Chains A and B, each alone.
Chain A
Amino acid sequence: MKSFANLYAELDETTRTSEKVDALARYFASAAPEDAAWAVHFLIGRRPKRLVPARRLAEWAMEMAGVPEWMFAECHEAVGDLAETITLLLPPPSEEREDLPLHRWVEERLLPMRHEDEAGQRAAMRGAWAELSGPEAYVWNKLITGAFRVGVSQNLVVRALARAGGVDEPTVAHRLMGAWDPTPEFYTRLFGADTSDADASRPYPFYLAYALEGGPESLGDAGEWQAEWKWDGIRAQMIRRRDNVYLWSRGEELITERFPELARAAGLLPDGTVLDGEILPWKEHAPLPFAQLQRRIGRKVLGAKILAEVPVVLLAYDLLELEGRDVREEPLRWRRARLEELIASLPTGATDRIPLSPIVPAAGWDAVLEAYRGARDRASEGLMLKRLDSPYRTGRRRGDWWKWKVEPFTLDAVMVYAQRGHGRRASLYTDYTFAVWKGGELVPFAKAYSGLTDAEIRQVDAWVRRNSLQKFGPVRTVKPELVFELAFEGIQRSPRHKSGVAVRFPRILRWRTDKKPEEADSLETIIGLLEG
């Protein structure tokens, strides 16, 4: 556990990518496979489910630290994070113990807690706390609270594993996809030379685009690019191998069962096919609002009614595997041609469910710009620009794929509530609720937390503390004084919201210190945008 806790601390201490990769590679090169397997599992975000309710953890920690509940609350308020609060409060262990390796902590101490009753869990936690201190206790508490996050992307873990094991990055990335158990055998296989081990269900790593700043002219000749509409759905891979079908989300969740109509269509694909696309709620050749899809996602049981109301398609973007062969290294123009042939050859029941992502005619950048300007009318978020020569890469990479999103809606709103943030901002008020005018009244309509600089956040935080009207748990009502310019992507009517509207991806553009609350926008303006 010590070496893993040290790794965690090292990763936490630096913001330099190269140092993170160095620290990871050092760890992987020296860790035992049974520990390294768990480390990979946690580092790429496959965190364990919360095993013990937070309230109970807090109770046991108070008991052990000898502090009353009000003092625990004060401490939690100052620290912001439960796992860290507990770590700082617990008395250091009275004696140095032998270091138990990570896999034993996980397999012998953590996982068995699932089957324990409350008394058993309490005993297990007290036992662990009596043995651990400092960074190890912190990592343990993070694992227990299910909030283990360390700020390394999967790409970095892949890079470090590839370096430590002397294997190329795409191979490691692919082997980390899909379902696997963190066993020493799995870890050893990550570095194996034989690549025929591919599990039939395993998706490829997704290639993600960077946002294009400014116009596309910097990309060179428009003729070398393919433009497509950018939609807001669920990015997914559809796999048909060895008589089975699998649908994976970008978050590497297996979602086959949530989309039975897509699973049926996938069954009509030839064996050894993998498609990359976007799941969209779709009716009469056009997408429905994302909120419709959310209605489906939330449900455990999909009745006939919802299936009829919100039918979905996989809009096919790309072809990754053809006749059992990984074709990601082929250029996009080749993959697109094969994709078109493939879709055309499918029976109607499948082409309706797996339509091709339409190509936006782009004779020159002028035509592309024209299309871009019309994106919102089609309920599209903008354009995707993909270099026709590009292979299908791994992870988020610059250069070959760009997303060019339409300018957001903006308006000025007044801050009315403030709430503490999470993670590194847990001790600051960083999450704000904003209101606009409706007659003489301010109606809350959006919550946003990103967009300010650290210095501004500190200023706003200090202001919030001085100008609170009321405190409800972590939320404070503040004097309606501060005005912010907000941006958001879409607006919809929503009877569930007091304001009657719901906005998508609201974020703070800037703090309008030059504006008084009276100058903020009104609900009518928002509704105007909705209709406009």
Chain B
Amino acid sequence: MLLRVSDRGMYCEAGDFFIDPWLPVDRAVITHAHGDHARWGCRRYLGSREGERVMRTRLGHDARIDTLEWGEVRDVRGVRVSLHPAGHILGSAQVRVERGGQVWVVSGDYKTEPDPTCTPFEPVRCHTFVTESTFGLPIYRWRPQAEVFAQIDAWWRGNQEAGRASLLFGYALGKAQRMLAGVDPTIGPIFAHGAALKLNQDYRDGGIPLPPADNPMGAPKGFDWSRALVIAPPSANGTPWMRRFGPVSAAFASGWMSIRGARRRRGVDRGFVLSDHVDWPSLLSSIEATGAECVWVTHGYREPVVRWLREHGIQALAVASRWEGDEGLGMGDEGADSPAEETTSD
């Protein structure tokens, strides 16, 4: 087998490297810069050229990061390694490894819906596909994002009429930028929480146009927040930081918001179903598009996805990931917000 799961993560013995290890290792190939995929402290990192800036922001300036263009092949001790867009966040990659005619692809997190803030997902043919399954149940089906952004815009306008600031929570890396790019900036002024500012700049520097969004801390005293949209990480919800805005309507954008109970528990006024992961139909069609004979399922609803695949004639296996909720829900970006677990990551 070209890859196996060791106590530090997915390991390629022939090439002596790990993919998204959860403990420090010598050589790590990184799918993307979210905290549960890019861990600190590895000697050398290999990631996508597109993701270099955000990886550096996340891993620190002294991290040794090598990069590959999309599709560029690096020979690592006889193993051909290349990266292919995963469409999850800026620079998110699928890792393709090939040796002796055997091809494996590790998806990392991915989505198939077009997103103006990153290169779209490309299916890669392989023998074994290692897929995430954060939303691996048929109840998860996303509405077209144009529809979701129309809802967000309408909510923002409604808040303006009601004299309330609009606080929109979403993860600082990826979701924040996608929201910035997706809302209608002519509605009113947009601000972004300090945690997202550097990342916003990384995106802009990487050639992704985003509307201006200043730090609300810099706004003049007595500023009228009722027309503003403020984008912030979920961890800011309920903190004293929110007081400056006066009356607010708070909303949270995540795939988990498709379930009413999750919406209610979040303690926000609105939930928008906007995810950077594949929904159920796209998960199945993506697996099919790889032509894989064997599928490893990780990060999420592994068991149901494995069983479903097996019942549909596909060899499948559940693979452990480091952060296990009881329901097999990992803790990463949206995984962190699963119904079962709560962390402050990202």
A residues lining the B interface (CB < 8 Å):
12-15, 65, 67-68, 70-71, 74-75, 78-81, 84-85, 88-89, 92, 423-428, 454, 458, 461-462, 465-466, 468
Contacts and interface: CB of A to CB of B under 8 A. Distances in A.
A466 B326 contact: yes
A143 B327 CA distance: 30
B260 A81 contact: yes
Contacts of A454: 265, 267
B340 A462 contact: yes
A152 B327 CA distance: 33
B265 A68 contact: no
A462 B327 CA distance: 10
A247 B40 CA distance: 72
Contacts of B325: 462, 465
Contacts of A85: 139
A68 B311 contact: yes
B342 interface: yes
Contact of A78 (B259, B269, B308, B341): B259
A466 B262 CA distance: 20
Contact of A12 (B141, B260, B307): B260
30 contacts: A12-B260, A13-B269, A15-B269, A70-B307, A71-B304, A71-B308, A74-B304, A75-B139, A78-B139, A78-B259, A78-B301, A78-B339, A79-B139, A79-B259, A79-B261, A80-B259, A80-B261, A85-B139, A88-B141, A88-B258, A89-B139, A423-B261, A424-B260, A424-B264, A454-B265, A458-B265, A462-B325, A462-B340, A462-B341, A468-B326
B2 interface: no
Nearest to A91: B141
Given A74-B301, A462-B341, A427 B269 contact: no
A24 B325 CA distance: 41
A70 B308 CA distance: 10
A501 B222 CA distance: 62
Given A84-B260, A427-B261, 10 more contacts: A15-B269, A68-B311, A78-B139, A78-B327, A88-B259, A424-B261, A425-B261, A454-B267, A462-B325, A465-B340
B313 interface: no
Nearest to B324: A466
B49 interface: no
A65 B308 CA distance: 14
A15 B250 CA distance: 12
Nearest to A422: B261
B304 A427 contact: no
B270 interface: yes
Contacts of A81: 260-261
A75 B138 contact: yes
A284 B260 CA distance: 52
Contacts of B327: 78, 465
B168 to A, nearest CB: 15
Contacts of A425: 261, 265
Interface in B303-346: 304, 307-308, 311, 325-327, 339-342
A78 B307 contact: no
The 4 closest A-B pairs by CB, nearest first: A465-B326, A88-B139, A424-B264, A427-B261
Nearest to A85: B139
Contact of B138 (A67, A423, A428, A462): A67
B301 to A, nearest CB: 7
A458 B343 CA distance: 11
A49 B264 CA distance: 26
B210 interface: no
Contacts of B262: 427
Contacts of B264: 424
Contacts of A74: 137, 301, 304
Contact of B265 (A65, A92, A424, A465): A424
A80 B261 CA distance: 8
A369 to B, nearest CB: 39
A90 B137 CA distance: 13
Contacts of B339: 78, 427-428
A375 to B, nearest CB: 37
Q: Most chain-A Cβ atoms within 10 A of its Cβ — which of B140, B260, B311, B325?
A: B260
Q: Most chain-A Cβ atoms within 10 A of its Cβ — which of B139, B140, B141, B264?
A: B139
Nearest to A66: B138
Contacts of B260: 12, 81, 84, 424
A81 B308 CA distance: 22
A16 to B, nearest CB: 8
Contact of B270 (A13, A71, A426): A13
Nearest to B258: A88
Contacts of B258: 88
Q: Most chain-A Cβ atoms within 10 A of its Cβ — which of B140, B261, B301?
A: B261
A350 B233 CA distance: 68
A92 B147 CA distance: 15
B310 to A, nearest CB: 12
B144 to A, nearest CB: 12
Nearest to A87: B139
A422 to B, nearest CB: 10
A315 B341 CA distance: 51
Interface in B234-284: 258-262, 264-265, 267, 269-270
Contact of B259 (A71, A84, A458): A84
Nearest to A151: B264
A381 to B, nearest CB: 32
A326 B210 CA distance: 66
Interface in B127-151: 137-141
A88 B137 CA distance: 10
A123 to B, nearest CB: 24
A371 B301 CA distance: 59
Nearest to A468: B326
A88 B256 CA distance: 13
A65 B138 CA distance: 9
A454 B270 CA distance: 17
A400 to B, nearest CB: 31
Nearest to A138: B260
Nearest to A16: B269
Nearest to B307: A70
Contacts of A428: 261, 265, 339
Contact of B137 (A75, A423, A426): A75
A468 B265 CA distance: 23
A135 to B, nearest CB: 11
A80 to B, nearest CB: 5
Contacts of A78: 137, 139, 259, 301, 327, 339
A8 to B, nearest CB: 11
Q: Most chain-B Cβ atoms within 10 A of its Cβ — which of A12, A92, A461?
A: A461
Nearest to B311: A68
A394 B18 CA distance: 69
A461 B269 CA distance: 23
Contact of B340 (A65, A89, A461): A461
Contacts of A88: 138-141, 258-259
A430 B307 CA distance: 29
